Amino acid sequence: MEDKDLKYMELALELAGNALGRTSPNPMVGAVVVKDGRIVGKGYHARAGTPHAEIHALREAGEDAVGATLYVTLEPCCHHGRTGPCTEAVIRAGIKKVVMAMTDPNPLVAGKGARKLRDSGIEVVCGVLEAQARRLNEIFIKYISTGMPYVVLKTAMSLDGKIATAGGESKWITGPRAREHVHLLRDRYDAILVGIGTVLADDPSLTTRLPDREGRDPVRVILDSGAATPPGAKILTQNSQAQTIIITTGEAPPDNVKQLESAGAVVIKVPGSDEGIALADMLRELAGREITSVLVEGGARVNGSFVRDKLVDKVNWYIAPKIIGGGKAPGPVGGPGIKLLNDALQIENIEVHDLGNDICIEGYVAVRGGLDVYRIS
CATH of the domain at 12: 3.40.140.10
**What would the pLDDT profile of 127-158 be if each residue is shown by its tens digit?**
999 999 999 999 999 999 999 999 999 999 99
Say how far apart CA 137 and CA 339 lie, in whole Å.
35
Looking up residue 252, the CATH number of its domain turns out to be 3.40.430.10
Domain assignment present for residue 370? The answer is no
- Strand bridging mode 38-44 / 30-35: antiparallel
Domain count within the chain:
2
End-to-end CA distance of the chain: 20
Binding site for Zn(2+), by residue number, is 52, 77, 86
Structural domain of 168: 148-365
Residue 52 sits at φ, ψ, to 5 deg, of -75, 170
Residues 221 and 114 in one domain: no
Residues 186 and 101 in one domain: no
Overall average pLDDT of the 250-261 stretch:
94
Say how far apart CA 122 and CA 100 lie, in whole Å.
13
Residues 41 and 90 in one domain: yes
Domain assignment present for residue 115? The answer is yes
Residues 78 and 174 in one domain: no
Residues 8 and 48 in one domain: yes
Residues 90 and 188 in one domain: no
**What would the pLDDT profile of 292-349 be if each residue is shown by its tens digit?**
999 999 999 999 999 999 999 999 999 999 999 988 899 999 988 888 998 889 999 9
Residues 230 and 275 in one domain: yes
Domain assignment present for residue 376? The answer is no
Binding site, by residue number, is 52, 77, 86, 156, 170, 172, 186, 198, 202, 206, 209, 225, 297, 299-305
Domain assignment present for residue 374? The answer is no
Catalytic residues: 54
Residues 135 and 234 in one domain: no
Residues 79 and 27 in one domain: yes
The model's pTM is: 0.92
Other Cβ atoms within 10 Å of 172 Cβ, number: 11
Binding site for substrate, by residue number, is 170, 186, 206, 209, 297
Say how far apart CA 280 and CA 302 lie, in whole Å.
13
The sign of the torsion formed by the CA atoms of 34, 36, 39, 41 equals negative
Domain end call among 112, 140, 168: 140
Position 108 confidence tier, pLDDT thresholds 50, 70, 90: confident
